[in-house]
Amino acid sequence: FAGFWHDMNEPTSFAAFGETTLPRSALHALEGRGGDHREAHNVYALCMARAGYEGLRALRPEERPFVFSRSGWAGLQRYGGTWSGDVATGWPGLRASLSLVLGLGLCGVPYSGPDVGGFDGGPSPELYVRWFQLGSYLPLFRTHSSLWAGRREPWEFGPEVLQHARVALVERRRLLPYFVTLAHLARRTGAPYVRPLWWGAPEDRALRDCEDAFLLGDSLLVAPVLEPGADRRAVRLPRGRWYDTATQRAYEGPGQVLVDAPLARVPVFARAGAVIPVRGEGGGLELEVWAPARGRTGGGLVVPDAGDGWEEPGIERYTTRLRGGRVVVELEREDGVGEPLHPLRVRGPAEG
């Protein structure tokens, strides 16, 4: 086995304050002072996550443990991540899934995700696709449901859904180096993968009121479709230039734009000047560079994947700017600047 998935590990009592399956007579040590489960509930789950983490460290000391837990307490992020638990199947559950991941990230737990498709019911093909698309841009991405709620594999919903799911999976795979970079940065800095739009401008009231889109790191803005029947949606953009990654059309923020959102994809925008590590066609690391606006600079951080283990990978820092109508990308070094260490692919018009 590769890790631990802790479920029902509060442990579940199916009644407020215990009794149905967890008698109130069940006592906890609580560091020697004693107490009942009303106080120990979430701390119990935290200790279970710690036990799983430390057990894997002892069993396979050369590998990084993988643990995610339905419950926990402050400090859970030291041992693993979490997920939504039994999120209701429906459009409100889809919207709540994004709120959960954003909120946990702000509370110091960067690794989380929902049950794609919802836990307790049968999603429509449209709802399943939209949930799958959202999940493909979140840290923890997996389908899951109760035994009586039906299957959640993409092929269970027909060929059209399968095709749309395949597109989302391919893009997730392409962005894997970016997710690896965000994981290392979350560990070093505490900044979550998934961030609210106001992350870089908390004073902007319009961004603070926006709850239907998010930043994935510093470079991407994802605007999932959270309502049925929508093939277009309004997207609130922070300050600066943003490129629609599907059309490469440039938009200027701050402001709101109306863009196409067909069932085949959700709108995703790249920040002008961004350097995003992606998986190239040959499987190697490439740098996807979005042209900076004239007179502006950009850049990005890259943490190459060193594989499993405890080796501390280095951070590559890149800057971008326009020179004579061409995009110039430079690697920051202690002794100056150098050439990029990976192949480049420039996107977005380099003018204007």
Per-residue pLDDT tens digits for 46-62: 999 999 999 999 999 99
* Choice among 7, 39, 153, 308 that is catalytic: 7
User: How many Cβ atoms are within 10 Å of 309's Cβ, its own excluded?
Assistant: 10
CB 9 within 8 A of CB 69: yes
For residue 205, is it within any domain? Answer: yes
Assess whether pLDDT exceeds 70 at residue 350.
Answer: no
- Torsion over CA: 57, 216, 214, 141 (sign): negative
Q: What is the DSSP string of 132-161?
A: HHHHTTSSS--B---GGG----GGGG-HHH
* Chain position carrying tokens 């020697």: 32
Assess whether pLDDT exceeds 80 at residue 1.
Answer: no
Structure tokens at 188: 């070093």
User: How many Cβ atoms are within 10 Å of 219's Cβ, its own excluded?
Assistant: 24
Per-residue pLDDT tens digits for 97-137: 999 999 999 999 999 999 999 999 899 999 999 999 999 99
Residue 244 among the catalytic residues: no
C-alpha span between 263 and 276 (Å, rounded): 25
Q: What rounded mean pLDDT belongs to the chain?
A: 93
38 and 78 inside one domain: yes
Per-residue pLDDT tens digits for 140-175: 999 988 888 888 899 999 999 999 999 999 999 999
Residue 11: Cβ-neighbour burial (10 angstroms; 0-12, 13-18, 19+): middle
Assess whether pLDDT exceeds 90 at residue 27.
Answer: no
State the total domains in the chain.
3
User: How many Cβ atoms are within 10 Å of 305's Cβ, its own excluded?
Assistant: 16
54 and 139 inside one domain: yes
Phi–psi pair at 268, nearest 5 degrees: -135, 135
User: Residue 320 — very low, low, confident or very high, per pLDDT cuts 50/70/90?
Assistant: very high
17 and 145 inside one domain: yes
Q: Which of 265, 140, 236 is nearest to 193 (CA)?
A: 140
Phi–psi pair at 319, nearest 5 degrees: -120, 150
CB 139 within 8 A of CB 194: yes
Residue 86 among the catalytic residues: yes
Per-residue pLDDT tens digits for 75-104: 999 999 999 988 999 999 999 999 999 999
Which amino acid appears at position 266 of this protein?
V
Assess whether pLDDT exceeds 80 at residue 321.
Answer: yes
143 and 47 inside one domain: yes
Q: For position 315, what pLDDT does the model report?
A: 95
Q: Specify the DSSP class assigned to residue 284.
A: S
Which pTM value belongs to this model? 0.94
Region 23-44: what's the mean pLDDT?
86
User: How many Cβ atoms are within 10 Å of 328's Cβ, its own excluded?
Assistant: 15
C-alpha span between 313 and 304 (Å, rounded): 7
For residue 352, is it within any domain? Answer: no
User: Residue 17 — very low, low, confident or very high, per pLDDT cuts 50/70/90?
Assistant: low
Assess whether pLDDT exceeds 70 at residue 18.
Answer: no
C-alpha span between 129 and 131 (Å, rounded): 5
Polymer length in residues for the chain: 352
For residue 330, is it within any domain? Answer: yes
Q: For position 352, what pLDDT does the model report?
A: 36
* Choice among 19, 36, 86, 204 that is catalytic: 86
Which of 136, 161, 187 terminates a domain? The answer is 187
CA distances from 79 to 11, 49, 216, 328 (A): 18, 6, 22, 41
Per-residue pLDDT tens digits for 194-213: 999 999 999 999 999 999 99
CB 151 within 8 A of CB 122: no
Which amino acid appears at position 128 of this protein?
Y
C-alpha span between 50 and 77 (Å, rounded): 10
Phi–psi pair at 132, nearest 5 degrees: -65, -40
158 and 9 inside one domain: yes
Q: Cα-Cα-Cα-Cα dihedral of 48, 70, 1, 191, to 10°?
A: -90
78 and 109 inside one domain: yes
Query: Strand pairing partners for 83?
Result: 113
C-alpha span between 67 and 3 (Å, rounded): 6
* Choice among 10, 115, 286, 288 that is catalytic: 10
Residue range of the domain that includes 200: 189-271
297 and 334 inside one domain: yes
183 and 193 inside one domain: no
Of all residues in the chain, the percent with pLDDT exceeding 90 is 80
Residue 10 among the catalytic residues: yes
